[in-house]
Copies of this chain bind each other. A is one copy, B any other.
Amino acid sequence: MSFRAALVFQILRCMHRSTPLRQLQVFRLPMSHPGDLSALAALLDTGRVRADEVVAVIGKTEGNGGVNDFTRGYFTQSLMHLLGARMGRDPADLLLELPCVLSGGTEGVLSPHYSVFVRSAASADAPACPALAMGRAFSPPTPAADIGRWAQVHAVADAVRSAMADAGIDNPADVCFVQVKGPCVTAARAAAARAAGQQVVSDDPNRSMALSRAAGAFGVALALGEMADDPALEAGLLTRFDLWCARAGVSTGVEVQANEIVLLGHSAHWRGPLRMACEPMADALDLPAVTRVLARLGLRADPQLDNADRHRVAAALVKCEPDRRGQVRGTRVTMLDDTDINAQRHIRAAVGGLVAGVLGDGRIFVSGGAEHQGPEGGGLVAVIAEAA
C-alpha cells in the first residue's frame, strides 16, 4: 500500500467510527520514595483521575535496577494497595491485570517518577484524528525454564497481539512503541527449577535478565511482522545484534512473573492532543536522535527545549546499553570492566544526562539493557507530547 493510499485509508477509518471513541491521558508524577503514591492519591481524591480508568503505570524508582532491586516491588505493592482500596478490589487481583512497568535506577540527574496512563471515553465531538492509542496485555506466568528461550518470544508476541486488539489497532505500522516488562531468573528460582528437573538458560541473574530482555524484543518484532517465527533464531538472542526492533523497550525484574505489555500507537478511534514519536539511537552519543524525535512532534530543541515546549512533553522513554565492544565512537570506555558499578547503571547515568540536557528535564524513563532494542550499542528514544 503506497503512502497516499494509506492516508486515504486512515481518513476513511477516521470517518467510520463504529468503535466507541477513547482518549488517553498521561500524568507524570513525582515520588519521594518508592512507597510514595501520594501524588496519585491526590489526583484520585480530587476526581481528576478515576481509579478504574488507570490502565498502566510506567515509572522509574530509585533502586539499583538489578536483580536485588526491591524498589520496583515496593512501588508495585503500594500502587496496588492504593488502587485496590479505591476500587474495593483485592490488590492481588489488580496485579494480574494492571501493567506496572518499572525500571530501577535513577542515576545522575534522573528523577524518580511515574507516568499514569488513564483511558477514558472521548466525546464524539472531540476534534482531530488519529490520536495516541494504548492497549495492554499480560502473558501467562512464564516458567523459569522458559526465560530467554523461544517459548518466551512466543509468549511476548501473543501478548503484543492482544494489546494491539485492546488498543483497537489493526495495522502493525500504527504501533509506535511497545513496552514490555518481563521476568528473570534469580538464584532462588534457578534452584527451584533445577529441583524440578528443569534447566534454566543461565545461573547468572544478570545474564538471565539480559536474555529475558532479548526475548522480549524478539517477541515484539515477531508480533509486528518484523521477524520470522523461526525457533532457530533463539540462538540469535544476545548474539545476532544485527537483529533489532526500533519499537520495543523491555525491562525485567524479580517482582514480575509474566510478560506485561503496554502498547502505544496512533488510531483514528482515539481522541485528544497526545502524539508519540520514536527514533533509534545509533550509539550512546546520538544526541541528534533526540532532537529528531522532538522535531517529529513539532518541538524545537535549540539546543534545549524552552519552557513552553518542555511543558508539552508528557513522557520520555529511552533504552540504552553499554556497547559490548568496549568503545564508543572509537574511544575506549570502561563500563563493562567495572566491578564496582554495574554497566547498566553507568549507561543510564550517561544517556540520561544527555537526554535530560536536551529536554531540560530529568523525569525520563531511561532503561538500560537495550539488547536488540535499537542498534547495537545504541537504543532508542521515544517521546509523548501534546500536539502543537
What is the interface of chain A, defined by CB distance below 8 A to chain B? 30, 32-35, 62-71, 73-74, 77-78, 81, 106-113, 186-188, 190-191, 203-207, 254, 284-288, 290-291, 301, 303-304, 324-329, 331-342, 345-347, 349-354, 356-358, 360-363
- Residues of B with C-beta under 8 A to A303: 287-288, 290-291, 301, 303, 358
- Residues of the B chain whose Cβ atoms lie less than 8 Å from the Cβ of A332: 30, 32, 111-112, 188
The chain B residue with its CB closest to the CB of A345 is B341
Q: In whole Å, how far is A239's beta carbon from the nearest beta carbon of chain B? A: 10
**Chain B residue contacts of A352, Cβ below 8 A:** 350, 353
A339 touches B70 (CB 8 A): no
* Residues of chain B within 8 A of A71, CB atoms compared: 70, 74
Chain B residues, CB < 8 A from A358:
287, 303, 357
A381 to chain B, nearest CB (A): 12
Note all chain B residues with C-beta closer than 8 A to A334: 62, 68, 106, 112
Give chain B residues whose Cβ lies under 8 Å from the Cβ of A356: 285, 328, 350, 354
**Contact call B333/A362, Cβ cutoff below 8 A:** yes
Number of copies: 4
Which listed residue (B77, B106, B342, B361) contacts A78, Cβ 8 A?
B77
B340 and A285 contact, CB distance less than 8 A: no
Determine the residue in chain B with the shortest Cβ distance to A81.
B81
The reply to whether A108 and B346 contact each other, CB–CB distance below 8 Å, is yes
**How far, in whole Å, are A337 and B64 apart by their CA atoms in the complex?**
12
Q: Which of B65, B191, B284 touches A326 (beta carbons < 8 Å)?
A: B191
* Beta-carbon contact of B284 and A109 below 8 Å: yes
Task: Give A263 Cβ to nearest chain B Cβ, in Å.
Answer: 27
Alpha-carbon distance between A74 and B24 when the two chains are bound, in angstroms: 31
B331 and A108 form a contact (CB under 8 A): no
- Let me know if A108 and B335 touch, CB within 8 A: yes
Q: Is the CB of A33 within 8 A of B70?
A: yes
Q: Which residue of B lies closest to A206 (CB)?
A: B339
Instruction: Enumerate chain B residues within 8 angstroms of A326, measured Cβ to Cβ.
Output: 187-188, 190-191
Which residues from chain B contact A205 at a C-beta distance below 8 Å?
Answer: 336-337
Beyond the given A111-B331, A190-B326, please list 14 additional residue pairs across the A-B interface where CB-CB is below 8 A: A62-B338, A64-B339, A71-B74, A74-B74, A74-B77, A77-B77, A107-B341, A108-B349, A108-B353, A187-B337, A287-B357, A288-B304, A329-B361, A331-B361
> In the assembled complex, which residues on chain B have CB atoms less than 8 Å from the CB atom of A78?
77
Whether the pair A325, B65 counts as a contact (CB closer than 8 A) is no
Closest Cβ–Cβ distance, residue A166 to chain B (whole Å): 29
- Find out whether the CB atom of B203 lies under 8 angstroms from the CB atom of A324: yes
Using CB atoms, name the residue of chain B closest to A64. Answer: B339
Check if A33 sits within 8 Å of B73, measured CB to CB: yes
Residues in B with CB closer than 8 Å to A291 are 303
Q: How far is the CA of A286 from the CA of B328 in the complex (A)?
A: 23
Task: Give min CB distance, A112 to chain B, whole Å.
Answer: 6
Which residues from B are CB-within-8-Å of A204? Answer: 207
Chain B residues with Cβ below 8 Å from A188 are 32, 326, 332
Distance, CA A206 to CA B206, complexed state (A): 12
Give the residue name and chain of the B residue nearest to A284 (CB): B109
Q: Is B333 a contact of A304 with CB atoms below 8 Å?
A: no
**Contact flag A331-B30 (CB < 8 Å), given A108-B347, A349-B349:** yes
Q: CA–CA, A206 to B346, complex, Å?
A: 17
Cα A226 to Cα B65 with chains together (Å): 44
Q: Which 9 A-B pairs have the closest CB atoms?
A: A66-B339, A108-B350, A350-B353, A349-B349, A187-B326, A353-B353, A74-B74, A354-B357, A111-B331
